[in-house]
Chain A
Amino acid sequence: MSKTITIDGLAVPFQEGQTIMDAALAAGVYIPHLCHNPEFKPHGSCKLCTVNVNGRNVASCTMPAVEGQLVLSDIAELNAERLALTQMLFVEGNHLCPACEKSGNCQLQAVAYYLGMMSPHYNHFYPQREADASHPDVMLDRNRCIYCELCVRASREVDGKNVFGLSGRGIKTILVVNSASGLLGDTDLAVTDKAVQVCPTGAILIKRQGYAVPIGQRVFDRLTIKDVQTGGSHE
Chain B
Amino acid sequence: MSEQSDRAGRFPPPSPLPQVGEGDSVSPTGDTMKKIRIATCSLAGCFGCHMSFLDIDERLFGLIELVEFDRTPLTDIKHCGPCDIGLVEGGVCNAENVHVLKEFRKNCKVLVAIGACAINGGVPAMRNNIDLWDCFQEVYCYEGGLECGQIPNDPELPLPFDKVHPVYEVVKVDYFLPGCPPSGDAIWKFLTDLLNGREPKLDYEQLHFD
Binding site for B on A (CB under 8 A): 90, 94-100, 103-104, 109, 112-113, 116, 118-121, 123-124, 126-129, 143, 215, 221-222, 224
A-B contact pairs, 22 of them (CB 8 A): A96-B120, A97-B116, A98-B209, A98-B210, A100-B210, A103-B210, A104-B210, A113-B209, A118-B176, A119-B166, A120-B119, A123-B1, A124-B121, A124-B166, A124-B169, A126-B121, A126-B125, A126-B128, A126-B129, A129-B129, A215-B210, A222-B205
Interface residues of B in 106-144 (CB under 8 A from A): 113, 116, 119-123, 125-126, 128-129
Q: Does B104 contact A (CB under 8 A)?
A: no
Q: Does B54 contact A (CB under 8 A)?
A: no
CB neighbours (8 Å) of A224 from chain B are: 204
CB neighbours (8 Å) of B178 from chain A are: 118-119
Are the C-beta atoms of B128 and A98 separated by less than 8 Å? no
Interface residues of B in 157-210 (CB under 8 A from A): 163, 165-166, 168-169, 173, 175-178, 180, 204-205, 207-210
Q: A113-B207, A126-B128, A128-B129 are in contact. Are A97 and B119 (CB under 8 A)?
A: no
Are the C-beta atoms of A97 and B209 separated by less than 8 Å? yes
Are the C-beta atoms of A126 and B163 separated by less than 8 Å? yes
Are the C-beta atoms of A119 and B126 separated by less than 8 Å? no
CB neighbours (8 Å) of B1 from chain A are: 123
Distance in angstroms between the alpha carbons of A124 and B120 in the assembled complex: 8
Are the C-beta atoms of A97 and B163 separated by less than 8 Å? no
Complex partner residue of A119 from B165, B173, B180, CB under 8 angstroms: B173
Q: A96-B123, A97-B180, A98-B122 are in contact. Are A119 and B210 (CB under 8 A)?
A: no
CB neighbours (8 Å) of A123 from chain B are: 1, 169
Distance in angstroms between the alpha carbons of A76 and B10 in the assembled complex: 31
Distance in angstroms between the alpha carbons of A113 and B203 in the assembled complex: 10
Closest to B210 in A: A103
CB neighbours (8 Å) of A113 from chain B are: 204, 207, 209
CB neighbours (8 Å) of A112 from chain B are: 209
Number of interface residues of B (CB under 8 A): 29
Complex partner residue of B165 from A96, A121, A124, CB under 8 angstroms: A124
> Contact mask B22-44 → A, CB, 8 Å, 1/0?
00000000000000000000000
Closest to B115 in A: A98
A61 to chain B, nearest CB (A): 25
CB neighbours (8 Å) of A96 from chain B are: 116, 120-123, 125-126
Q: A96-B121, A97-B116 are in contact. List 11 more A-B contacts (CB 8 A).
A: A94-B129, A96-B116, A98-B123, A98-B180, A118-B175, A119-B168, A119-B173, A124-B165, A126-B121, A126-B129, A221-B208
Q: A99-B126, A126-B129 are in contact. Are A109 and B209 (CB under 8 A)?
A: yes
Distance in angstroms between the alpha carbons of A98 and B118 in the assembled complex: 13
Closest to B163 in A: A126
B134 to chain A, nearest CB (A): 13
A143 to chain B, nearest CB (A): 8
Distance in angstroms between the alpha carbons of A143 and B130 in the assembled complex: 13
Q: A123-B169, A126-B128, A126-B129 are in contact. Are A116 and B123 (CB under 8 A)?
A: no
Closest to B168 in A: A119
Distance in angstroms between the alpha carbons of A109 and B210 in the assembled complex: 10
Distance in angstroms between the alpha carbons of A98 and B126 in the assembled complex: 11
CB neighbours (8 Å) of A104 from chain B are: 210
A201 to chain B, nearest CB (A): 12
Pairs A-B, 6 closest by C-beta atoms: A98-B180, A97-B209, A118-B176, A103-B210, A119-B176, A126-B128
Interface centre among A97, A112, A215, A221 (most CB of B within 10 A): A97
Complex partner residue of B120 from A120, A221, A222, CB under 8 angstroms: A120
Are the C-beta atoms of B125 and A116 separated by less than 8 Å? no
CB neighbours (8 Å) of B129 from chain A are: 94, 126-129, 143
Distance in angstroms between the alpha carbons of A123 and B120 in the assembled complex: 9
Q: A124-B165, A126-B163 are in contact. Are A90 and B126 (CB under 8 A)?
A: no
